[in-house]
Amino acid sequence: MLDTPAEKLGASRRLFLGLAGVGTGAAALSACAAGGGGGGGGDEGDDDAGVGTGEGEVSDDNPFGVSGDAKVDVVIFNGGYGDQYAKDAGTKYGEMYPDADVKVSSTVNIQPDLQPRFIGGNPPDLFDNSGAQSMNAGALVGEGSVAELDQLVEAPSLDGGTLKDLLIPGSLTPGTYSGKLYALNYVYTVYAVWFSRKQFEEKGWTPPVTWDDVMTIGETAKSEDLALFPWGGQNASNYYRELAVSMAIKEGGLEVRKNLDRLEPDAFEQDSVVAAYAAIEDAVKAGYFLSGGAGIKHTEAQAQWVTGDAVMYPSGSWIENEQKGITPEDYEMVGVPTPQLSSGGAMPPETIHGTAGEPFFVPSEAENGAGGLEFLRIMLSQEQAQNFSKITSSPTILKDTIPEDAFGSTALASTNEMITAAGDNTFHYNHRDWYGMGPDTVTLWTEFLSGALTADEAREREQGLFDAIREDDSIEKFDVPE
């Protein structure tokens, strides 16, 4: 029986690894670590863990040697960005390779749907590892289940030039594990606090810069029977964890981020982390969170927000697209950077938590890994990047693709304004994705936001999660970038 938090956490962390050793999966999941390719039957380099090349002729127009009649199997997470952009990229793939069978399927259950395929040795050629049910990326990398992607970014773009030269600086960092690129994060995401510009103008509210500003708006909203924040405890209380961690980093500086990513024993005793968690607790105690959040999903909470029950919502810049069809046409959704905890923060107010997100992986045992790479190369064309932004109101990692009118999206225009204003004042942290902590922190933060845990108890519990991961030698640890 597993009685301690560390034992329970260690067991959950090893679940994927244990399943990897069943039947044919053991060989499949170990192939990349042994140096295999899985590029579709072509040259599989012995000295790297890349995809290799397919059975077609390699050229500038076909840098991965894609076989024109080979099936390509792509699985998309059908979340905040939908799946139409991927279907459109699949149409383009079919135009370039008319004899290919292009299969683009979508799901919200990435791990439940794909884990059996990995174990059975028949993973897709490319998949979008996102959402609450995503696979443990660190385990995928550590077990050699996914291929390195350097050959992708070194390849020529459909528009000319090398792909890596056309990307927003820093956009490859989140998919890099100990110096090696394994994931291509397609979307540039800005985490912000979102609200209705129309409502704020009608109420005479000034967009918040500090947490005190947020609490002042909360007090006024409560007097008008409005909640400050909605929340969905079933799968997305982590949005408020992101808010707290980002406030802590802006207050204390990048060393706070490094200590968290290093899983330091006193990571949650850092002054700015203590202050940030206390700030969230103040809002909970003041009654500024909409009641009933523990039992609903994030989409239900977001519907409560845009239909007028709550005022603000912390989320990534995918939020406008995710709420299409529910948000009133005149809502005018816009965002502001993470609030400052104090006037003496280490980072300026315009600093954003900005990073590339929506990670795409090519399994090391993909039947047509070269086709998976080619699908990504198509997605990284100007045509497909602009199509994505037009459909989703979000930028990709490709530079200079958003027109001045932002396709009529107030949220996309606001995102671009935040990116421009921030300049080099950006940050990102990795520990949650590296070590698959999402499910554990959702549970913890649901308790915290419901009032069942104090800020001190929440920090103590999170530190326990960190300690269990750090002390578990079966979990590969990754280098922390400067």
* Residue range 154-179, pLDDT digits in tens: 999 999 999 999 998 889 989 999 89
**Mean pLDDT, the chain, integer:** 89
- Look up residue 294 and give its two tokens: 């523990």
Rg (CA), the chain: 22
Per-residue pLDDT, averaged over 129-140, amounts to 92
- Is pLDDT at 453 greater than 70 in this prediction? yes
Which residues, 6+ apart, have CB-to-CB distance to 3 below 8 Å?
none
Report, at the CATH architecture level, how domain 5-185+359-400 is classified. 3-Layer(aba) Sandwich (3.40)
CA of residue 405 relative to chain centroid, distance: 26
0.85 exceeded by the pTM?
Answer: no
Per-residue pLDDT, averaged over 258-265, amounts to 98
Helices and strands: H and E segment counts in the chain: 20, 10
- Is pLDDT at 301 greater than 60 in this prediction? yes
- Greatest Cα pair distance in the chain: 69
Top-level class of domain 190-355+432-466: alpha beta
How do the residues of the chain divide into helix, strand and coil, expressed in percent and rounded to 5? 45, 15, 45
**Percent above pLDDT 90 for the chain:** 81
Going by the DSSP 8-state scheme, the letter that residue 47 receives in this structure is S
Confidence at residue 50, expressed as pLDDT on a 0 to 100 scale: 84
- Is pLDDT at 15 greater than 50 in this prediction? no
- Whole-angstrom distance, CA of residue 436 vs CA of residue 112: 15
Phi/psi for 358 (5° steps) reads 65, 75
- Whole-angstrom distance, CA of residue 142 vs CA of residue 33: 8
5-185+359-400 and 190-355+432-466 agree in CATH topology: yes
Residue type, 335: G
Going by the DSSP 8-state scheme, the letter that residue 278 receives in this structure is H
3-state secondary structure of 287: coil
Per-residue pLDDT, averaged over 66-73, amounts to 97
Domain ranges of the chain: 5-185+359-400, 190-355+432-466
